[in-house]
Amino acid sequence: MGELLKKAASEGYAVPAFCVWDAETIELVLKTADRVKAPVILMAGPAEFSVLSPAQLSQVASQSMRRHSVPAALHLDHGDSVEVAEACLAAGFTSVMLDYSTRPYEENASAMKQVVKMAHPLGVTVEGELGVIGRADGTSLEGGKTSSLTDPGMARDFVRETGVDALAISIGNAHGAYTRLPNLDFERLAELHSNVPVPLVLHGGSGTPAADLRRAISLGIAKVNVATDLVAKIRGTLMEQWNAGKNLWVPIALGAAIEATAPVVEKWFNNVGASGRA
């Protein structure tokens, strides 16, 4: 992932990271990336591991990646313990995130150093988070109950102390479905960009206006996480079919939902400027 983000940062676009949890969503994202010739990040975390374990997900992703020519990374999103990060490293993930952002700074930094020490000898990218990214709605499983914005000076020290390769920041973004448009603090983002020597990550991409995305990318955002848009489209398409008494055979309904979600994935490659970059 580090290589993908460095290239994106130097050329002025971002790489989208899509939440995946099974063979169907993995293939959907990679097939779309192939069609628009874009680099891509597949991501999954503890909530998604209820479907496939890290080892199983890695095996499925590896098989799918071999069928496609675009550069792709497999990323642990919001790892909630050092042990989960270690399991993903053992499974062959190419990047891992440990999210201790709701814990005290010292505990966050100490745990990040442990993960970096394990990951870097394997050539694996490490993402950290500083500042608490909150929840935009009541259904998101990720983020804090409230947000606290990332302090630029503290972020500089955190990256220097821990050795992380990418940093997720809080600038008014949130996880889940926005009930109103996000109010991103671009002045803070510019200061973070000038203080932090690694690519910056925007969580909670779903629902962010395209103009705001472009501005954020110009100020150092090199990775944009997308989950809610995909989940909402798949869930909504399934419900529409079943409420209409249509496609009650689950594989057929799921196939239709996956097909309906392809334009959403393609839109995100275009929104962050990744199309044609592979």
Q: What is the pLDDT of residue 179?
A: 46
236 Cβ contact list (under 8 Å, min separation 6):
none
Q: What is the pLDDT of residue 139?
A: 53
What global pTM score does this model have? 0.91
Annotated active-site residue in 77, 99, 151, 229:
77
Answer yes or no: is 255 within a domain.
no
Answer yes or no: is 247 within a domain.
no
Answer yes or no: is 249 within a domain.
no
The domain tally of the chain equals: 1
Task: Please indicate whether residue 77 is annotated as part of the active site.
Answer: yes
Q: pLDDT per residue over 233-242, tens digit each?
A: 999 999 999 9
Answer yes or no: is 99 within a domain.
yes
Which class for 157: exposed (0-12), middle (13-18), buried (19 or more C-beta within 10 A)? middle
CA distance 42 to 243: 31
Answer yes or no: is 254 within a domain.
no
Helix H, strand E, coil C: the string for the chain is: CHHHHHHHHHHCCCEEEEECCCHHHHHHHHHHHHHHCCCEEEEECCCHHHCCCHHHHHHHHHHHHHCCCCCEEEEEEEECCHHHHHHHHHHCCCEEEECCCCCCHHHHHHHHHHHHHHHHHHCCEEEEEECECEECCCCCCCCECCCECCCHHHHHHHHHHHCCCEEEECCCCEECCCCCCCCCCHHHHHHHHHHCCCCEEECCCCCCCHHHHHHHHHCCEEEEEECHHHHHHHHHHHHHHHHCCCCCCHHHHHHHHHHHHHHHHHHHHHHCCCCCCC
Which class for 16: exposed (0-12), middle (13-18), buried (19 or more C-beta within 10 A)? buried
Q: What is the pLDDT of residue 246?
A: 93
Query: What domain range includes position 30?
Result: 2-228+262-271
Answer yes or no: is 235 within a domain.
no
Answer yes or no: is 159 within a domain.
yes
Q: pLDDT per residue over 152-170, tens digit each?
A: 999 999 999 999 999 999 8
Q: What is the pLDDT of residue 136?
A: 44
Q: What is the pLDDT of residue 137?
A: 44
Q: Which CATH number characterizes residue 22's domain? A: 3.20.20.70
Tell me which residues of the chain have a pLDDT lower than 70.
132-147, 173-182
Answer yes or no: is 238 within a domain.
no
